[in-house]
């Protein structure tokens, strides 16, 4: 729970009205000295005066007092997991209504509102109609605007801008999304060097532990950023097989050398799946089968635990604590049952029709079926 902030709220509201302490005191029926003490946080208005002040300024009592219902990180994680599981086993509309009610109750708990937007973005396609999907996208976009307009956490606001861009893209508003993303993605800015500079600063300050921790975390994030961007690049290089082949070769080397399947099988699976589709477009069934097999290896790793979690390994041995500090910790953004529904149809993509008579592909289809049953 945040402490009450009536003193600074009174100052802000009075300045917005452009009135003096004396004018406010005359309206409320107190002395100018009383108003001064309230604004200096020496004393507080009595219970009878608070509603009068709220009415005068046209705000709620909660807003006047600065009362912001807040949830802890653990409570937000639990709500996220509960609703994620609900999407997998319960009625979609009822789950959405639960989320809306929670957001309404904790409207000023911006980390919670942000996570509910992430949750809805991961599941809105489960809505039965296009109209309902569009309504949810508009709802998420409005929530993002609310966070950006009122949250004082600059990092959360920055994350919310990116989230809003994803929401806009989901609704086909690509130009609007580009306006958001391009403003913060200029590769020429010095901010691109901030990670390296911070590691150097830690070292110069004699803090090798922090330097090591931050370097590992940044390397881990950049590795998977490269894999994810490479998967996107495969779609860009779909008409240039030479560029496509070189991308696959280099990323496969990275995956093997850093043992990335064990670290983040989801990111690797997405890359392998895109590689398989690309080689089908290039009419290279052998390469397509190779990457389909690797895709299934990643899926098998994802499904090997009832609840797949991010983690480090013998090399990235300093990141587990950091992972647990993430908004949703190490857990997957979607429940296992929802994830299984998606991958069940993955080998039904139209391009795989080219392999429908191939015995190896049929065996792979059977393997996938066995994994998800």
**pLDDT score of 1:** 42
- Measured between alpha carbons, how far is 151 from 63 in angstroms, rounded to an integer? 14
- Measured between alpha carbons, how far is 55 from 246 in angstroms, rounded to an integer? 67
Alpha carbons within 13 angstroms on the beta-carbon side of residue 107 total 13
Tokens representing residue 366 in the block: 């059977």
End-to-end CA distance of the chain: 45
- Measured between alpha carbons, how far is 74 from 260 in angstroms, rounded to an integer? 28
Digit-by-digit pLDDT tens for the chain (373 residues) are 455 778 988 998 999 889 999 999 999 999 999 999 999 989 999 989 999 999 999 888 878 887 667 888 889 999 999 999 999 888 999 999 999 999 998 888 999 999 999 999 999 999 999 999 999 999 999 999 999 998 888 899 999 999 999 999 999 999 999 988 887 776 666 566 788 999 999 999 999 999 999 999 999 999 999 999 999 999 999 899 999 999 999 999 999 999 999 999 999 999 999 999 999 999 999 999 999 999 999 999 888 865 567 889 999 999 998 888 876 666 666 666 777 778 888 999 999 999 999 999 999 999 998 888 7
Tokens representing residue 152 in the block: 């004082």
Q: 158-172 burial, b if ≥16 CB within 10 A, otherwise e?
A: ebbbebbbbbbbbbe
- Measured between alpha carbons, how far is 64 from 4 in angstroms, rounded to an integer? 9
**pLDDT score of 324:** 83
**pLDDT score of 333:** 67
What global pTM score does this model have? 0.71
Cα distances from 5 to residues 9, 47, 191, in angstroms, run 6, 16, 34
Cα distances from 269 to residues 220, 293, 302, in angstroms, run 17, 10, 9
Strands (DSSP E) found in the chain:
none
What is the secondary structure of 47-83 as a DSSP string?
A: TTHHHHHHHHHT--HHHHHT------HHHHHHHHHHH
Torsion on CA atoms 271, 273, 275, 277, rounded to nearest 10: -150
**pLDDT score of 129:** 94
- Measured between alpha carbons, how far is 291 from 269 in angstroms, rounded to an integer? 9
**pLDDT score of 325:** 80
**pLDDT score of 68:** 66
* Angle value at C-alpha 217, between 213 and 221, nearest 5 degrees: 170
H/E stretch holding 208 reads: helix 208-236
Tell me the angle at which helices 154-170 and 110-123 cross, rounded to the nearest 10 degrees. Answer: 20
- Measured between alpha carbons, how far is 153 from 268 in angstroms, rounded to an integer? 32
């Amino acid at each position: 729970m945040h402490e009450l902030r009536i003193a600074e709220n009174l100052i802000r509201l009075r300045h917005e009205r452009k009135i003096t302490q004396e004018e406010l005191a005359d309206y409320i029926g107190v002395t100018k000295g009383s108003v001064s003490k309230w604004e200096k946080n020496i004393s507080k208005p009595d219970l009878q005066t608070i509603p009068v002040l709220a009415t005068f300024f046209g705000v709620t009592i909660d807003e006047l007092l600065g009362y912001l219902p807040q949830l802890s990180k653990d409570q937000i994680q639990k709500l996220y997991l509960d609703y994620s599981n609900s999407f997998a086993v319960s009625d979609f509309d009822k789950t959405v209504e639960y989320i809306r009610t929670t957001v309404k109750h904790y409207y000023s708990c911006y980390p919670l509102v942000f996570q509910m937007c992430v949750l809805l973005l991961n599941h809105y396609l489960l809505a039965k109609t296009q109209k309902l999907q569009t309504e949810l996208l508009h709802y998420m976009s409005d929530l993002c605007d609310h966070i950006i307009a009122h949250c004082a956490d600059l990092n959360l606001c920055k994350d919310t801008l990116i989230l809003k861009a994803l929401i806009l893209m989901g609704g086909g508003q690509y130009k609007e999304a580009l306006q958001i993303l391009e403003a913060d993605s200029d590769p020429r800015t010095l901010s691109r060097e901030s990670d390296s500079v911070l590691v150097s600063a830690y070292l110069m300050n004699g803090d090798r532990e922090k330097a090591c921790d931050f370097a590992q975390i940044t390397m881990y994030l950049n590795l998977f950023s490269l894999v994810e961007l490479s998967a996107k690049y495969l779609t860009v290089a779909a008409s240039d097989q030479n560029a496509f082949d070189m991308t696959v070769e280099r990323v496969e080397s990275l995956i093997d050398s850093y043992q990335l399947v064990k670290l983040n099988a989801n990111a690797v699976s997405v890359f392998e799946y895109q590689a398989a589709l690309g080689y089908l477009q290039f009419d290279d069934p052998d390469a397509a089968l190779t990457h389909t097999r690797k895709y299934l290896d990643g899926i098998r790793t994802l499904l090997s635990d009832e609840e797949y979690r991010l983690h480090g390994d013998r090399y990235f041995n300093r990141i587990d604590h950091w992972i647990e500090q993430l908004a949703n910790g190490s857990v997957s953004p979607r429940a296992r049952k929802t994830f299984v529904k998606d991958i069940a149809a993955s080998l039904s993509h139209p391009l795989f029709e080219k392999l429908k008579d191939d015995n190896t592909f049929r065996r792979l289809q059977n393997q996938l079926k066995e994994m998800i049953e």
